[in-house]
Amino acid sequence: MTPDPYSPIWRAVVPLSATTSEARGIFVVLGAAYLLTPFVLLSLIIGTGIFCFERSGGIRLRVATAKKTVVADSRLAAKLPNDIDVALTGDVDEKMLDLFADAIERTRQSPHRDARLRVIIDTTGGLLEVAKMVSEALRDLSATHQIVMIVTGKCWSAGTVILLSVPLQYRYAVRHARFMIHAVTSHDGVRTESTRESDKYLVQRYTEETWVKRAHLVKALRSDLDTIFSARRARKLGFIGAILRD
């Protein structure tokens, strides 16, 4: 169908010198742009949403070096018949010491040679000193038994110290998991010489066990902001080895 050369739309968009075939081409381009506009807008909205989800707050952490080759088999996270599970939920406090001591002892005393300890993490953090003691106990156990870490919700603050007790290939998270690191403060929210020493410990620990640039870690732990990131970002930064299907 040939457009009406006397219509207002025709005169508005088509030069007077254009031929009929040229005019049809112009209308095809305009029509395609009209049809594609909603898809372009939708892509921009989705892209913005992904960016905001990935960068939730705090300092933008970056990888120190090119990605290292780590094969993390998500099948290792599956529950096996002789596994012993311990749930790290709620606050990391003194009660966690007894909880983990019991789970570690049961794993050591298991009559099954293939007994493993699975730590299910969903915590907003707590006492760093408790997290350090739990981490040391788990590291000792990992010399003789396999330990698997699975983040099912939040892994914040002191929880990340416990997460990093095992090699990267044994650290997992579900897709909706969230991670957070921040500066250490005293009970009344004040930074002291002691808390600054704790920050140095965290920088060293994160540098050894993840792929994050040291300078970015120092900046994040000197900031007053909480640095929160998604499971996808945690995978890129080396906090976890693989993301599990929900």
Please write the tens of the pLDDT for every residue from 57-81: 566 777 766 555 566 788 889 999 9
Are residues 174 and 138 in contact, defined by beta-carbon separation less than 8 angstroms?
no
Does 30 have pLDDT greater than 70? no
- For residues 61 and 26, give the distance between their C-alpha atoms in angstroms, rounded to a whole number: 48
pLDDT digits (tens, 9 = 90+) for 141-186: 999 999 999 999 999 999 999 999 999 999 999 999 999 999 998 7
Q: Read off the pLDDT of each residue in 122-140 and give the average, rounded to a whole number.
A: 97
Q: Give the end-to-end CA distance of the chain in Å, rounded to a whole number.
A: 53
Helix (H, G, I), strand (E, B) or coil at 112: coil
Alpha carbons 179 and 53: distance in angstroms, whole number: 12
**Mean pLDDT across 10-32:** 54
Beta bridge partners of 92: 126
- Chain length of the chain: 246
pTM: 0.74
**CATH T-level fold of 59-244:** 2-enoyl-CoA Hydratase; Chain A, domain 1 (3.90.226)
